[in-house]
Amino acid sequence: MSENKIFQYVQFKSVVAPDFWYKLAENKLNIEKLDEIDQHIVGTYTNLNAKNCLIDFDCTSFNSKIVTSRNKFGAVGVLKNLNTIESFKNCDKISLLNTAGNQLITNILNGTCLENPSELASFLLLSFADLKKYNFYYWFAFPASLDLVIYEASPSQFISEKFTDEDIKNFTLKIDSLDTKQSAFFIANKTLDVILLKDAISHVKTDSNLLDFDLSSNYFCFSDPSESKCGWVLRNYILLLYLLCPILRGQSINILSVRQSEQNSLKASKVFYVTLPKYNDDFQFLTWTSWEKNNNGKMMPRIANMSEVMDPIKTAEHFAMLNLKLMKWRLLPALNLDIIKTQKCLLFGAGTLGCGIARSLMSWGFSNISFIDSGHVSYSNPVRQSLFTYADAYQNKFKSKAAAERLLEILPSVKSHGHVLTIPMPGYPINESTRQKTIEDVDMIVNMIKDSDVLFLVTDSRESRWLPTLLGSYFGKIVITTALGFESYLVMRHGASKSHEQDELEEEISGLKCIPGNKLGCYFCNDVTSPGNSIRDRTLDQQCTVTRPAVSNIAASISVELLVSLLQHEKNICAPAYYQINNKSTDVVESIPESMLGIIPHSVRGYLSTFSNILPATERFNQCIACSDFVLNEYKEHDKEFLFKVFNSAEYLEKITNLEDFANMDDDIINELDDDSDSG
């Protein structure tokens, strides 16, 4: 006998299938509810190409009958599914294990384990199902006596070293003919004839068990789920032998670990030689092991979060992102989807453009989209404004609220809010009765802009874009303006504010003029009059914007694609834009530097009459009434006091920017009128 080398077993490792959790949740909700009854459940293990001593649990674990098949063996156990995380945390784990261990001893002594050897592979599962978050806290225990220690007698041998090929071949057939309950644990003689436990051992007169048995030529066999050292199930088999066969105490015995490989080979099977201890007759098996270790090797409970498959909201989110991920993997490995996901977008206006932009943003994976609009959904809206339905108009819902609700209906994981707010405008005087409300509105708008990354200006008038343009520039946000004419549209990104330092010079390309991102103009830079009340002087049909109906979808789509291109550019908001200096050279457009998604124009002007786009780029205008230093400084120094002066008289803007000098200049820019119709 080698010097007292303790024989070691490989611990069971649980493998839980997703449908186990489905079934557990279903039972909890529909059957047990608030009861905490012990349930009998089963697990299975295999000795076919076995590795890692695994034990499987799936939805059939809750069946009353164990579903076993060739090479698949049952284990029996108890599920304790608790109602609260506190009881899960606080229940006495050691005492639970001891109870399970004592039950095992009872089952051995009363003959249950002889009749059904699968009872030796016993387990306990403690769990708490947090069905709001789809978190399953769980801990398996595989009880085994800590007190019973056996020793290696001599080195193990492969089955082929002990038995003839003929005997092994017959052995395979004999095992196959057994019920797996019996073939889990049995005895074989020197020619590998099978003897069932219940035929060899009695639980009544234990002293006479195995009296005539030649220990050197008989083998205690078990189907082994482990590939090198013996699996955990052997440990309780040894306990059974110790308890029921006193004659074995202090003796060396042969253990045959039966392991199947493909092609019905038993070549991986091994014979182990072990020595059993001999304790005093009144020795009690009192201490038990073991709770399962987690995948970091610590003996502690585990948690399985199943929300990705059990929570339909998470599932929808996942599949919404899937196409984007495939695009990334297949076509654009450098595509940064995270930046898209984290951008907070604020849409000024929830009309045709606002709805169209929101939908395109969602399809690109933007997950934070909010609206500011003061209007209600009217009956003329739903056919053009893709987030609204007849019912919204019938109920006279606020557009911003209805749009946000609809986004959540489309994809519940989106964050979206609708704010009913009037955007104060130059030349729309504030009287005493509205003053307090306006102050609050301005504060809210300022806070929302501070909290956003991207602003879309898609309101139905030019002057309502003034305040968000100023604030967007002041706080250094990405601002995209979109406006519609009858058959034309404009999409423009505003230049970065001066605070975006840009030292390096852009590369010079012949025939092209480059404007760095922080020198690009805003929507108002091209316009040399202050925004007055543009609606006041319009005829009725001009107040309702008359556009070719699908123009807005084109413009909305281009707005979002322009934003995405910009976000993917390494310089982000500071990405430069180019324009052609010399009209004669025609190929020069092709030499505009591209980023991952192509060129990033300053603006796109499209004309449906010719189905064409042009891409003008213009510089910041030093006297701009929305983004020039004059204006930004006034705002910085006088804040709302300045804003209110402008609301009360738009001419104040011309004064501070010295625009009065340009009084004679005419407005020769296309009067991009605007989106939307009825709320104006």
Question: Least Å distance between CB 54 and other proteins?
Answer: 6
- State the minimum distance, in angstroms, from the CB of residue 509 to other proteins: 32
The tokens describing 644, both together, are: 């209110």
Please say which residue, 155 or 297, places its beta carbon nearer to other proteins: 297
Smallest gap from residue 589 Cβ to other proteins (A): 32
Question: Least separation, in Å, of the C-beta of 118 and other proteins?
Answer: 21
- Collapsing DSSP states into helix, strand and coil, what is residue 648? helix
108 closest CA partner among 220, 274, 243, 223 = 243
Nearest residue (CB) to other proteins, 80 versus 302:
302
> Kindly report the CA angle at 124 between 119 and 127, in degrees rounded to 5?
150
Q: Give whichever of 10 and 512 is closer to other proteins, judged by the CB atom.
A: 10
- Could you list the residues that contact other proteins (CB under 8 A)? 6-11, 13-18, 20-21, 48, 51-52, 54, 89, 93-94, 136-137, 139, 144, 146, 149-150, 229, 235, 260-264, 289-291, 293-306, 308-309, 318-319, 322, 325-326, 329-330, 333
In the chain, % helix, strand, coil (3-state, to 5) comes to 35, 20, 40
**Least distance to other proteins from the beta carbon of 303, Å?**
5
Write phi, then psi, for 422 (nearest 5 degrees).
-95, 130
Smallest distance from the beta carbon of 59 to other proteins, in angstroms?
A: 11
Q: Which is nearer to other proteins, 289 or 363 (CB)?
A: 289
Cβ proximity to other proteins, 306 vs 442, nearer residue: 306
Q: What Cα–Cα distance (Å) separates residue 297 from each residue in 49, 126, 302, 450?
A: 24, 19, 11, 47
Q: Are 82 and 88 in contact (CB under 8 A)?
A: yes
Query: Hunting for tokens 């020039």 — which residue is that?
Result: 628
Rounded CA gap, 67 and 399, in Å? 58
Q: Output DSSP code: residue 659.
A: G
Nearer to other proteins, 75 or 480 (CB): 75
Active site residue 59: no
DSSP code per residue over 75-116? EEEEEEEESSHHHHHHS-HHHHHHHHHHHHHHHHHTTHHHH-
Segment (H or E) for 383: none
- Decide: residue 475, CB within 10 A, 0-12 exposed, 13-18 middle, 19+ buried: middle
| Closest among 339, 324, 334, 332 to 572, alpha carbons compared | 339
How far is 145 from 235, CA to CA, in rounded Å?
8
Q: What is the four-CA torsion angle of 380, 386, 389, 395, rounded to 10 degrees? A: -70
State which residue, 365 or 472, has the beta carbon closest to other proteins.
365
Among residues 323 and 591, whose Cβ is nearest to other proteins?
323
DSSP states of 292-343: PP-TTS--S-EEEE-HHHH-HHHHHHHHHHHHHHHHHHHT-TT--HHHHHH-
- 50 or 656, CB closer to other proteins? 50
Q: Are 261 and 49 in contact (CB under 8 A)?
A: yes
Smallest separation (angstroms) from other proteins to the CB of 247: 22
Beta bridge partners of 606: 489, 613
Q: What SS3 state is found at 410?
A: helix
- Of 413, 418, 424, the C-alpha closest to 446 is 424
Q: How far is the CB of 326 from other proteins (least distance, A)?
A: 6
CA distance 673 to 680: 12
As measured in angstroms, the least distance from the Cβ of 145 to other proteins is 9
Least spacing, CB of residue 150 vs other proteins, in Å: 8
Nearer to other proteins by Cβ, of 10 and 159: the residue is: 10
Please count the CA atoms within 13 angstroms of the CA of 8 that sit on its side-chain side: 5
Q: Quick check: helix, strand or coil at residue 139?
A: strand
> Rounded distance, CA 374 to CA 680, Å?
10
Q: List, in order, residues 6 or more apart from 252 with CB less than 8 Å away.
A: 1, 153, 215, 273, 274, 275, 276
Q: Which of 243, 235, 238 is nearest to 206 (CA)?
A: 243
Residues near 335 by Cβ (< 8 Å), separated by ≥ 6? 324, 327, 328, 568, 596
Nearest-approach distance from CB 185 to other proteins, in angstroms: 18
Catalytic residue chosen out of the listed positions 522, 544, 574, 627: 544
Which residue, 296 or 610, is less far from other proteins as judged by CB?
Answer: 296
Q: What are the catalytic residues? A: 544
